[in-house]
Structure 1
Amino acid sequence: MGEQNSPTTGTPGGKRQFRIWRGDAGGGELTDYQVEVNEGEVVLDVIHRLQATDAPDLACRWNCKAGKCGSCSMEINGKPRLGCMTRMSTFGDDETVTVTPLRTFPIIRDLVTDVSFNYDKARETPAFAPPADVAPGDYRMQQVDVERSQEFRKCIECFLCQTVCHVIRDHEENKHAFAGPRYFIRAAELDMHPLDTRGDRKEYAQAEQGLGFCNITKCCTEVCPEHIKITDNAIIPMKERVVDRRYDPLVWLGNKIFRRGQVPQTSVTSSPHGGAVHSSAEHGGVHSHAGGSHDPQAEAQAQQGVNWHREVPRPTAPPVDDNGKLPLTELTFDRAAAPSPFGDDVTFPIPPEHLNFAHPKQDEQY
């Protein structure tokens, strides 16, 4: 029989303290376990041993056990990680290893969460649109174009970037208007693709995927097991393209003269209820610069400052007359074509209650 060694990481027969969340959608609690840990094992190995010994009803999702399927996503000591890629040797000998489910998504049972939100967002993302006059077998790309977007194809859809993103992690109400880092890199990949014929990827990302919500904290990049530079190589370039389109003075003038921007005001977006897009001339409303919503209430809210509880204005069609022409007031309007997210004529510093993030003094009364 093998000799029993002292309980330290990497020695056969060593016991380690685990604290695992047990429960379902109705509630649960952290349960303590003493589990044997052997040399070279990962957290998922220990969970499997725990299932075989003390907790046969412990629910845990996994598949390949090789860091390529993304199934065993969980939070280990508070950080989103893959259970099969987190070695026990990275923890101290006397450190308690706490394992909890992904916090951003609804609990199904124990360590298993409902990640269907991500698949809904995937279905909403416009697919690759190849050129109509080129047969699939005749697609040709330069190697440099392949390399630009190949990085984003490494995504294993573990959704660690999605669960760590504070835009939806801390604000459930943002989920309907925010696609998350996973689908920002998808939008960037297709926007960089030389054979993709859709020219509105960046506009769609801004108008429908909530690109403007991201404030590039790079937490998504930090947790990516495939080491994709999500922020630097995808989100920031997409933001730069959107800003170039919206704030460049020459583009602004061209938008004023011709059709007031690309697709965000027309075919990309639809009304919140799925109906057709209508111009403000049909409604008789004012031309709002609070995101192009044509909603006086949204305009007033935008002037007061943007906060998380305000419904995101939906861009609509440009205000044209019955003949499809822009009114003269559009060319002489005294504001920029694209508004500041804080509203016009705002003074700095901005009051904490008007900020878009959890300010340390958010709840203080002034």
Structure 2
Amino acid sequence: MSTDSTSLNLKKTVEQAEDFLPLLGTDFVELYVGNAKQAAYYYQQAWGFQPVAYAGLETGRKDSVSYVLQQDKIRLVLTSPLQPGGEINEHVNKHGDGVKVVALWVDDARKSYDETTNRGAESYVEPYVMEDEHGKVVISGIHTYGETVHLFVERSAYNGPFLPGYKKYEPRFQVEPTGLKFIDHMVGNVGWNEMNKWCEFYAKVMGFAQLVSFDDKDISTEYTALMSKVMSNGNGRIKFPINEPAEGKKKSQIEEYIDFYNGAGVQHIAVATDNIIDTVTKLRDRGVEFLYVPEVYYDTVLDRVGEIDEDLEPLKELGVLIDRDDEGYLLQIFTKPVLDRPTMFFEIIQRKGAQSFGKGNFKALFEAIEREQESRGTLQ
């Protein structure tokens, strides 16, 4: 992954955003998990991520172990405890496997920390320097919703495999990538009446602006509903939709998530591809399970979205959803939860000009999720 921010096109695309940090992109996403070695094998074998770095007993770390996996610009860190007690054990016990850190790539981690804490962010870690033979990295961090944190990572003076303290890891087993390119957006679920609070947090503390909002009329079925607002930084590289429950006849997916996660947290990670048919076919063939969309959805979808480049039949066979906005169309599909608890899942998205989030698919998507909830006995 390039660390030369001067070569990036950081043009401001969201004019309302103050963008005072600014953010260059997502540096990595760290999940606290019960068994990092086995989780790493799953993301390697099923998703096409390749291990690139490791930290643990062999590198002098005594309390935890971490595997770093990468595919194109997406970097996942899987961390497990090596001893009883402590923050990681508490996190896994309370939440199950889940996202702890959303790390953001910046030019100046000290400035990012000062800008955000001066605007009211709660400090997670004050700026500090990590250094080894490959150079140095500056890191700082703040708290956000639930127990999720943002780290600011300044790595322009570093050319190692990941961070100081990690060694290069090149296992013999090499997998073919599945065509995943970068993180398109990451969705946070928060509790009742907390959405506006956290949207205001991203606006005030991090200089984000609201791209779009959806109320319970937009995102509802006969049984459940939710509210959502999408926050974005100035260059559009970081987009955080924030969801909260809304009143419905039965328990919504957001309530189910909060019940099993025991609080607010990252609901799903949307990853981009340039060829959703090829990517989803590979993922499905490797065992990744997706939500079922009834065939009747495809009877009228082209009447709604108009002409598309792709043949409809393979999209129908895979269950890929289609939506259009003023700038183009998008193709998207959602996995079932990738963990034992019905909490985190992934979205695969291919944008053909569209900058929206699939509003036209919300009803079909929510009905698919409700069918899964019903099978789990949680649609009450």
Q: Do they fold alike, i.e. is TM over 0.5? A: no
Q: Hey, which of these two has a bigger chunk of strand by percent?
A: 2
Which is higher, the Rg of structure 1 or of structure 2?
A: 1
Q: Higher relative CO (CA 8 A, sep ≥ 6), structure 1 or 2? A: 2
Q: Hey, which of these two has a bigger chunk of helix by percent?
A: 1
